[in-house]
């Protein structure tokens, strides 16, 4: 009999007694310190953003929007609050109709969702928590972009609702973080995760397998280090190449070879076997099925990916 991998959906169902779905929302004007030039320029090499677009006017427009967002008074806040509401209403209705979902977590997904003035963040988070049947928030961010004030505020919120912070760990190897232009080192990630845990917050760590120059052993060392930091949940991603990125330029020059599906599955299964049983899994693979994908082609078909993952898991007595 195959052993069921502990999923985030199972965790939520056990806690709330019903199906709970994450509803992703994206806020216009949000960016990250790696894109706006605070810690680096151009963003991570795998990240598609306007710095790689020929439209300089659009890049300037976003920069101006973000500078306004960072000001003492945010003239765009009302628009952003409306965006959260519109997105939540549309997606929660669809999830209810398709899956029978009755409870929701609002997932602040795109870019760095703690990288704004505290009052802006507070207004957005509280707006999301005000929606009917919302049981909590999951907030995607970077380890170098969350203040002590925000940590303390989220800790207070967590006393009465479900709060998760999602950090992009990616790799524990500083040479890798430099190569992908991450803008911070592994010590910064460790510090942020330990601080989040000291505030009693739930932490999800994102791991990318197939980063430039990394071996199977390095990928697994990153997974082991993430588990050792006490993360509560994990997302596994293969690195894929999309258009309008620095990584696409490296690929075109023959300086980067994407991870094969076979190697990804090997690393994934070993990482799952090393994972503590109490750490839930939120994502087991990733991809994109539009014309922006350059390579590898096995990341294009999500159904095929899940079929391959499940076949590989079956060989070691696991199921997802």
What would the pLDDT profile of 272-297 be if each residue is shown by its tens digit? 999 999 999 999 999 898 899 999 99
- Indicate the pLDDT class of residue 73, thresholds 50, 70 and 90: low
What's residue 57's pLDDT?
38
Please name every residue paired with 207 in a beta bridge, in sequence order, or none if there are none: 170, 236
Contact at 8 Å (CB) between 68 and 74?
yes
The Cβ of residue 225 has, within 10 Å, a number of other Cβ atoms equal to 18
Decide if pLDDT at 75 tops 90.
no
Dihedrals phi, psi of 245, to nearest 5 degrees: -130, 160
Q: Are strands 318-319 and 3-4 parallel, antiparallel or unpaired?
A: parallel
- What is the biggest distance separating any 2 CA atoms in the chain, rounded to whole angstroms? 59
Query: Residue by residue, what is the 3-state secondary structure of the chain?
Result: CCEECCEHHHHHHHHHCCCEEEEEECCCCCCCCCCECCCCECCCCCCCCHHHCCCHHHHHHHHHHHHHHHCCCCCCHHHHHHHHHHHHHHHHHHHHHHHCCCEEEEEECCCCCCCCCHHHHHHHHHHHHCCCCEEEEEEEECCCCCCHHHHHHHHHHCCCCEEEEEEEEECCCHHHHHHCCCCCCHHHHHHHHHHHHHCCCEEEEEEEECCCCCCHHHHHHHHHHHHHCCCCEEEEEECCEECCCHHHHHHHCCCCCCCCHHHHHHHHHHHHHHCCCCCEEEECCCCCCCCCEEECHHHCCHHHHHHHHHHHHHCCCEEC
pTM of the model: 0.91
Decide if pLDDT at 60 tops 90.
no
Name the average pLDDT for the chain: 91
- Measured over the CA atoms of residue 172, residue 220, residue 247 and residue 237, the dihedral's sign is negative
What's residue 38's pLDDT?
86
pLDDT digit string, tens, across residues 157-188: 999 999 999 999 999 999 999 999 999 999 99
Mean pLDDT in residue range 247-251: 96
Mean pLDDT in residue range 298-305: 94
More confident residue, 287 or 239: 239
Contact at 8 Å (CB) between 279 and 227?
yes
Alpha-carbon span 282 to 234, nearest angstrom:
6
* Domains located in the chain, CATH noted: 3-319 (3.20.20)
Contact at 8 Å (CB) between 173 and 186?
yes
Mean pLDDT in residue range 102-126: 94
What's residue 49's pLDDT?
53
What's residue 203's pLDDT?
98
Decide if pLDDT at 244 tops 70.
yes
What's residue 281's pLDDT?
98
Decide if pLDDT at 105 tops 80.
yes
């Amino acid at each position: 009999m195959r052993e069921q991998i502990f999923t985030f959906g199972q965790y939520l169902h056990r806690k709330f007694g019903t199906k709970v779905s994450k509803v992703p929302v994206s806020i216009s004007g949000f960016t990250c310190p790696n894109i706006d030039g605070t810690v680096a320029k151009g963003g991570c090499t795998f990240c598609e953003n306007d710095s790689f677009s020929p439209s300089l006017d659009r890049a300037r427009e976003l920069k101006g929007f973000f500078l306004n967002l960072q000001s003492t008074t945010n003239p765009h806040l009302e628009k952003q609050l409306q965006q959260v509401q519109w997105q939540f209403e549309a997606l929660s209705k669809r999830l209810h109709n398709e899956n029978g979902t009755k409870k929701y977590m609002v997932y602040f997904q795109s870019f760095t969702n703690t990288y704004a003035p505290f009052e802006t963040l507070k207004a957005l988070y509280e707006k999301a928590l005000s929606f009917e049947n919302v049981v909590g928030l999951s907030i995607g961010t970077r380890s170098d972009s969350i203040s002590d004030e925000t940590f303390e505020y989220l800790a207070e919120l967590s006393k009465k609702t479900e709060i998760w912070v999602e950090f992009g760990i990616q790799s524990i190897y500083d040479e890798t973080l430099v190569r992908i232009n991450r803008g911070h080192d592994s010590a910064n990630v460790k510090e942020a995760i330990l601080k989040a845990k000291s505030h009693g917050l739930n932490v999800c760590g994102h791991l990318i397998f197939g980063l430039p120059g990394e071996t199977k052993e390095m990928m697994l060392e990153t997974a082991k280090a993430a588990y050792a930091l006490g993360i509560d949940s994990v997302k596994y991603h293969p690195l894929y190449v999309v258009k309008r990125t620095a990584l696409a330029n490296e690929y075109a020059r023959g300086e980067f070879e994407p991870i094969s599906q076979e190697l990804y599955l090997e690393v994934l299964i070993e990482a799952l076997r090393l994972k503590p049983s109490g750490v839930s899994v939120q994502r087991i693979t990733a991809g994109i099925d539009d014309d922006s994908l350059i390579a590898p082609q096995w990341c294009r078909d999500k159904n095929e990916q899940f079929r391959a993952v499940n076949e590989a898991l079956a060989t070691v007595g696991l199921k997802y």
